């Protein structure tokens, strides 16, 4: 009976595959390559954003150190100014009491007054510089606080999204479906047994139900990008057709089938992309039937849009 079912499955897959036009397959492959490039670009941009934040924090620490040093210099100059004023008063008293020596005293007084004026000028310059640094430091602290709040808000939004997706899929078995947060993104991992038959690109009814519930949970959120990634184990693909010759093709076409269901469920087609990774990124070693089953999966990756964060960083 199993052999008969397998034979009918092969016939169905061959029939479905033959209906796909070559230009559609080529377009899918081009789209896959473009999506892989877009993903790499986004990861590089995120790395640049994190590097800028770290550099701003270093600059903030440097400015704080410089401000403290200038404040210390200001205190020293202010102390010297007070001492000079005291000395000035003493000399002036001598001048008044020793009019016979007025010439020498006048010279001393003039020197002290000249020095006092120079010290006051230096003090004013230091005050102005200190005020400028304090203002610049305040602006940078505000920028860093703004960035930290934005990042915190994004993290909170990711967690809220994760909770919403989890609640929407509570009625599915944990072995079939898992929701977790990794690297600031929400990963929805669906096992092959929930979605597809062996070697098939047609989603089973139970998988359609899960995807429809997921679409209902995320379709009203305009601030996320959605990547659907198909994954396989390392067993060579044996049901080759004109349009599907290996695990790369199988993973891409499975991802495309899922994208169609999500779009039909209300997800914006401009926010979602399909990608196939074949057997290249296993979660465990392909050394047992159980582990191979874990690697045969589809991951739906929900990524918050970082446009606002990049816009703030570009203003520095």
pLDDT in tens, 177-222: 999 999 889 999 999 999 998 889 999 999 999 999 999 999 998 8
**Average pLDDT value for residue range 255-280:** 95
| CB-based contact 193:176 (threshold 8 Å) | yes
83 Cα distance to chain centroid: 56
- 216 and 202 assigned to the same domain: yes
Q: Are residues 27 and 120 in the same domain?
A: no
Place of tokens 């960035």: 147
> By percentage, how much of the chain surpasses pLDDT 90?
36
Asked if residue 73 and residue 129 are part of one domain, the reply reads yes
- 74 with 32, same domain: the answer is no
Residue 38 has a pLDDT of 82
Which pLDDT band holds residue 16 (cuts at 50, 70, 90)? very low
CB proximity list for 50: less than 8 A, separation 6 or greater = none
Using pLDDT thresholds of 50, 70 and 90, give the confidence band for residue 100. Answer: confident
- Please say if the pLDDT value at position 57 is more than 90: no
For 232, the domain range is 17-48+159-314
**Domain-embedded: residue 7:** no
Residue 42's CATH number: 3.30.1330.60
What is the pTM (predicted TM-score) of this model? 0.55
Surface-to-core class of residue 14, CB atoms within 10 Å of its CB (0-12 exposed, 13-18 middle, 19+ buried) = middle
Helices 247-264 & 22-97, crossing angle to 10 degrees?
80
pLDDT surpassing 50 at residue 25: yes
Query: What is the count of structural domains for the chain?
Result: 2
* pLDDT band with cut points at 50, 70 and 90 for residue 127: confident
The confidence band for 254, taking pLDDT boundaries of 50, 70 and 90, is very high
Interatomic CA distance for residues 158 and 141, integer angstroms: 25
Asked whether residue 6 is domain-assigned, the answer is no
Query: 81 and 192, same structural domain?
Result: no
What are the distances in angstroms from CA 185 to CA 5, 181, 224, 303?
Answer: 40, 5, 10, 5
Residue 3: pLDDT band by 50, 70, 90 thresholds?
A: low
Tens digit of each residue's pLDDT (9 = 90 or more) over 150-167: 788 888 888 988 999 999
Model confidence at 294: pLDDT above 90: yes
Q: Is the distance from CB of 299 to CB of 232 less than 8 angstroms? A: no
Rounded distance between C-alpha atoms, residue 265 and residue 212, angstroms = 6
């Amino acid at each position: 009976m199993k052999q008969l079912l397998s034979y009918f499955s092969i016939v169905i897959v061959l029939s479905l595959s033959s209906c796909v036009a070559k230009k559609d397959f080529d377009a899918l492959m081009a789209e896959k390559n473009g999506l892989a490039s877009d993903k790499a670009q986004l990861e590089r941009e995120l790395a640049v954003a994190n590097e800028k934040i770290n550099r701003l924090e270093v600059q903030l620490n440097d400015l704080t150190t410089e401000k403290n040093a200038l404040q210390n210099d200001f205190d020293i100059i202010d102390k010297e100014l007070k001492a000079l004023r005291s000395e000035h008063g003493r000399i002036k008293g001598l001048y008044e009491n020793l009019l016979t020596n007025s010439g020498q005293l006048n010279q001393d007084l003039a020197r002290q007054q000249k020095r006092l004026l120079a010290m006051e000028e230096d003090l004013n310059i230091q005050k102005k510089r200190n005020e400028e640094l304090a203002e610049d430091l305040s602006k940078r602290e505000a920028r860093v606080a703004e960035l930290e709040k934005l990042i915190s808000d994004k993290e909170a939004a990711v967690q809220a999204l994760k909770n919403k997706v989890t609640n929407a899929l509570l009625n599915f078995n944990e072995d079939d479906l898992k929701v977790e947060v990794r690297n600031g993104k929400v990963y929805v991992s669906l096992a092959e047994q929930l979605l597809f038959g062996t070697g098939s690109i047609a989603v089973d009814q139970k998988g359609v139900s899960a995807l429809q519930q997921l679409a209902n949970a995320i379709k009203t959120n305009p601030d996320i990008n959605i990547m659907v990634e198909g994954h396989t184990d390392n067993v060579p693909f044996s049901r080759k057709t004109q349009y599907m010759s290996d695990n790369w093709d199988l993973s891409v076409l499975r991802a495309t089938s899922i994208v169609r269901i999500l779009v039909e469920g209300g997800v914006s087609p401009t926010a979602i992309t399909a990608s196939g990774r074949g057997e290249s990124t296993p979660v465990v070693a392909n050394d047992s039937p159980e582990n191979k089953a874990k690697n045969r999966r589809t991951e739906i990756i929900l990524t918050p849009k970082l446009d606002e964060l990049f816009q703030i960083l570009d203003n520095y």
